[in-house]
């Protein structure tokens, strides 16, 4: 199925400036692999060499963080919206 994926500004440069793209898949893992196929330069921003979700990236199905669901095995259905956001952190330490 085709899922809408919302991209943060940092990833839009890899997708021709688009804020929302479409990807195929029935799980988050499949959606991210399809995104990487469509936009190869985005790949290493999303997944590690081991195929795991990069620790500096948060992925949501609608409003739910997939790390608290089934991670990359989290199912997606027609009408779901996937959001990808970078982890934002820092400090003077």
User: Which residues here bind other proteins, judged by CB under 8 A?
Assistant: 6, 8-10, 12, 19, 56, 58, 60, 63, 65, 83, 85-93
Nearer to other proteins, 37 or 48 (CB): 48
Nearer to other proteins, 36 or 45 (CB): 45
Contact 61, 80 (CB under 8 A): yes
Cβ atoms < 10 Å from Cβ of 70: 12
Closest CB 89 distance from other proteins, rounded Å: 4
Nearer to other proteins, 27 or 58 (CB): 58
| Burial of residue 54 (number of CB atoms within 10 Å: 0-12, 13-18, 19+) | middle
């Amino acid at each position: 199925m085709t899922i809408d994926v919302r991209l943060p500004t940092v990833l839009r440069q890899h997708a021709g400036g688009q804020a929302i793209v479409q990807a195929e898949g029935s799980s988050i893992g499949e959606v991210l692999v399809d995104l990487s196929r469509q936009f190869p330069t985005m790949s290493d921003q999303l997944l590690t060499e081991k195929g795991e979700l990069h620790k500096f990236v948060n992925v949501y199905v609608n409003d739910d963080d997939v790390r608290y669901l089934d991670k990359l095995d989290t199912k997606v259905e027609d009408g779901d919206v996937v959001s990808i956001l970078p982890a934002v952190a820092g400090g003077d330490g």
